Structure 1
Amino acid sequence: MGLFLRSPWDFKPGHLFLSFICALVLFSSNIFAEELIKIDGALKKMFPRVSHFDRQVVSLSAEQIRRVEEAARLTFAGKHSSQVIVHIAREQNTVVGYAFEDTAIGKWGPIHYLIGLDTNGAVSQIIILDHQEIRGRPISKPRFLRQYRGKTLTDPLQLHKDIDGITGATISSNSLTEGVRKILHIYKLVKSQLS
């Protein structure tokens, strides 16, 4: 019969299944992406009484990266960006908190999140903006995120110490915990630059 079909509908059921599997593999990263909340909505949820946010991009120098890596016990290479976006929350002209927008790398892809800090550098709230985690979906649940509330640099911020991970989603839990630890150390380094 040759390689060519006689009509567009002359195919074997196995070919259709194989085509479906190929399409699924090609587009799987988009299938599992889950956008939970937009940044504006997350900022309003985090700081409900604040009407104005100043957005500032903080670019870390090589020396600052080295210091954060050492203090936070992590490496930036391939996992963390040298830039972080800070949304400075103001009531009238007074700074009432900061929202650090960052991305951590989970098992299945990026975890985009917002960490709220009070003016003393304690975590006030974490909101997961979007992620591609399959088994790590519970990282976006308030029950999991609540355990970060009040954490500062004096806390270990480590799985199985002061943070309970999610069974079957250790990489997702660890990635977010590492990201929180990183942001707290970045805040310590750059707080005088935030205006």
Structure 2
Amino acid sequence: MLTRRRFLLALVGQTILGWAKNLFAQTGVFLTEQEAPEAVFPEATAFERQVIKATPELREKMQALMGKFKPSIWEDAYTTFLAKKGGEFLGYAVIVEEIGKHRPITFVVGIQPDHKVHDVAIMVFREPYGGQVKERIFLKQYRGKSVTESFLPFQSVRSVAGATLSIHALARGIKKAAALVQAVYQEGKEGGW
């Protein structure tokens, strides 16, 4: 016969297991490096992969371009892709990482030649909270925004309860990707931001 104590222990155990399952369901690898550029430039027919070494001089230029935004991580190197469709240049796909609350979030940012965000996609999410930012319905709000926008909650993007730090990480990462594109590919060109 099932006693009250056993029943309550079973109920509490099931509740904890159900909660833990949902907690870790947010973490995971969602895109590989090979899939990343196509996620932000699905119309592209060719990608040229480049690895940019992060020198102290490059970091200094990027920080100057980022203004008040301070990266939580400086990568040793940045993987970028030049996206093309036929002979037409579509833009840059840049893989960056930023700390959410405790752990890095890896994502790819697509930046058009006119300094607008083409798209953003989460590659690896390691946090137990804030996983809502990986959903397409959330990420599509970045499309078409100028890289000069703040990308902060309640300023230029919607906020999501429980994901504020992840949204801030996305803002820093988008700014970092845009600064890399400006410093490496567009330095000295007209129309800089």
TM above 0.5, yes or no, is yes
Q: Cα distance, 1:31 vs. partner?
A: 8.6
- Tell me the residue number matched to 1:34: 28
Structure-2 residue corresponding to 1:134: 128
Contact 1:114 1:129 in 2 (8 A): yes
Q: Tell me if structure 2 keeps the 8 A contact 1:152–1:184.
A: no
Shift of 1:149: 1.1
Q: CA deviation at 1:147?
A: 1.8
Larger radius of gyration: 1
Q: In the alignment, which residue of structure 2 is the partner of 1:159?
A: 153
Q: How far does the alpha carbon of each residue in 1:115-136 deviate from its partner, in whole angstroms, 9 at most, with x for none?
A: 1112222111111011112221
TM-score by length of 2: 0.73
- Show the counterpart of 2:82: 88
Query: Partner residue of 2:70?
Result: 75
Deviation, 1:162, is 0.8
Residue 59 in 1 paired to residue 44 in 2? no
Unmatched runs of 5 consecutive residues or more in structure 1? 1-29
C-alpha change, 1:31 and 1:165, in structure 2 (3 Å) is: closer
The amino acid of 1:74's aligned partner reads: F
Q: Percent identical across equivalent pairs?
A: 23
Give the aligned residue type for 1:156. S
In the TM superposition, what is the alpha-carbon distance from 1:145 to its structure 2 partner?
Answer: 1.0
Match of residue 15 from structure 1: none
2:172 aligned with 1:178, yes or no?
A: yes
1:124 aligns to 2:123 (yes or no):
no
**CA distance in 2: counterparts of 1:47 and 1:183, whole angstroms:** 15
What per-residue deviation string (whole Å, max 9, x for no partner) do you get for residues 84-115 of structure 1?
A: 11111122343222111111111141211111
Indicate the structure whose relative CO is greater, using CA pairs within 8 Å and at least 6 residues apart: 2
| Preserved CA contact (<8 Å) 1:165 1:174 | no
Tell me the C-alpha RMSD between the 2 structures.
2.4
Matched, 1:102 2:61: no
Contact 1:121/1:187 (<8 A) preserved? no
Unaligned runs of 5+ in 2: 1-23, 188-193
**Do the aligned partners of 1:159 and 1:177 also contact (CA within 8 Å) in 2?**
no
